[in-house]
Amino acid sequence: MVKVIMGVKGSGKTKLLIEMVEKALEESPGDVVVIEKERSLTYDIPHQARLIVASNYDFGSTEFMKGFISAMHASNYDITHVFIDNLYKMFEDKSVAGAEDFLDWLEAFSEKEGISFTLTLSAPLESATERIRKYF
């Protein structure tokens, strides 16, 4: 399952993401991972979740993120949830087409491996394409 939380800056996306992380930790028998661009959620995310700061790993493209997620899963089959805060900040390519392709890849990976993905996108809701809306 892939879920996208989309809205403009200040609309409460990150707060909702934090609440969803807390709920996943309560309900999931597996591991929960949170990926963020910079170290801003350190004190907001419960310590039981694995917090990954993307800037430490030089994320630059969706291809890198795909490899990172695949490797993360290969090293830990107990991961049940992955949360990504502000997808557009992660990559140099901030195109809608790139985000759509990445979301479609995540959906296929999610179905194959049984991992739930939740992402935030900082953009007006009305700018969401049909390919992005299907993940709302």
Domains of the chain: 2-133 (3.40.50.300)
Pair of tokens at residue 81: 């949830």
| pLDDT 10s digits, 49-87 | 999 999 999 888 999 999 999 999 999 999 999 999 999
What is the structure's pLDDT at 74? 97
Residue 13: pLDDT band with limits 50, 70, 90? very high
What is the structure's pLDDT at 80? 98
126: exposed, middle or buried (Cβ count in 10 Å: 0-12, 13-18, 19+):
exposed
Quick one: angle between helices 96-113 and 62-75, nearest 10? 20
* Res 43 pLDDT > 90: yes
| Single pTM value for the model | 0.96
What is the structure's pLDDT at 8? 95
What percent of the chain has a predicted confidence (pLDDT) above 90?
A: 91
What is the structure's pLDDT at 135? 98
User: Edge-to-edge strand order for the sheet containing 79-84?
Assistant: 2-7, 116-122, 79-84, 31-36, 50-53
